[in-house]
Amino acid sequence: MNQDNTEKLQKVLANLGHGSRRELEAIIQAGRVSVDGKVAKLGDRINVDMQPKIRIDGHVIPLRNKEKEICRVLAYYKPEGEICTRNDPEGRATVFERLPKLKNSRWINIGRLDINTSGLLLFTTDGDLANRLMHPRHQIEREYSVRVFGEVTDQQLYQLRKGVQLEDGPAAFKSLKVQGGEGINQWFNVVLTEGRNREVRRIWEAIGVQVSRLIRIRYGNILLPKRLPRGGWVELDLASVNYLRALVGLSEEQKTKITVDKKRRPKSITRADVRRSQKRRSSM
């Protein structure tokens, strides 16, 4: 096999939309992937042009020409109470339950929001795009609206702007703006350029302040759509998709799945759809 024509197995599967590279590495390590009848190992490389037979959990994975696949991105308004995994042993709601169904592909979440955080969560069908957008070297801004309990002193604000020490290293907001509020509830907008676990909450906790509500309102220059209901999604247009691809050095996409007709809005879940979904879940 010509090494120049090979790619890592997890990269091939990610490009086909079967998860992020990190997720797929764990699947390969668990022995759930085979190539031409042999259990795959982490580090295996394959030549797609040779049409190897790849299976995940016994199911054959169709090999498609990735250059012909259209890169799609969804903006989803994650509600509190949903988790960012495909399946939950405890039966909790996941962010994937309300997304549109796909054939021969699946949605990959670009980063995560914890169960108590709401707001903008992006999904894509392009595993390479997802992997690059999540990599810390690209320093992509994430903006959050934060409500905290109690008064915040000037000294505490100084500490936040200077930075704090967390158990996994130093951390600081790139920017912090006071948004106001009444009584014991104050609102702030903060910006980070990395996505460590519960980082916004932990930074505030480091100065003795408890976060009571956290909403992500921006990823790069993609804003949480104002009219999008919680639990709703909308597909991004070609310009927005190519903005994200340019951020991480990927070539422009030439096609889109959404209509170009300005009189027709991209399909999204309505408030009525969300209520029906919530009613179905409450009756389970």
223 φ, ψ to 5°?
-95, 150
User: What six digits make up the tokens of 45?
Assistant: 């490389």
Instruction: Choose among 262, 266, 222: nearest CA to 243.
Output: 222
| Strand-strand pairing, 7-8 and 54-56 | unpaired
**What are the C-alpha distances in Å from 94 to residues 112, 114, 281, 283?**
12, 11, 12, 17
CB atoms closer than 10 angstroms to residue 125: 21
What does DSSP assign to residue 213?
E
3-state SS, residue 146: strand
Catalytic residue from among 36, 49, 57, 114: 114
SS3 sequence of 65-103:
CHHHCCCCEEEEEECCCCECCCCCCCCCCECCCCCCCCC
Q: What is the C-alpha to C-alpha distance for residues 229 and 272, in angstroms, rounded to an integer? A: 10
Kindly give the interhelix angle for 238-247 and 127-134, rounded to the nearest 10 degrees: 50
114 is catalytic: yes
What are the catalytic residues? 114
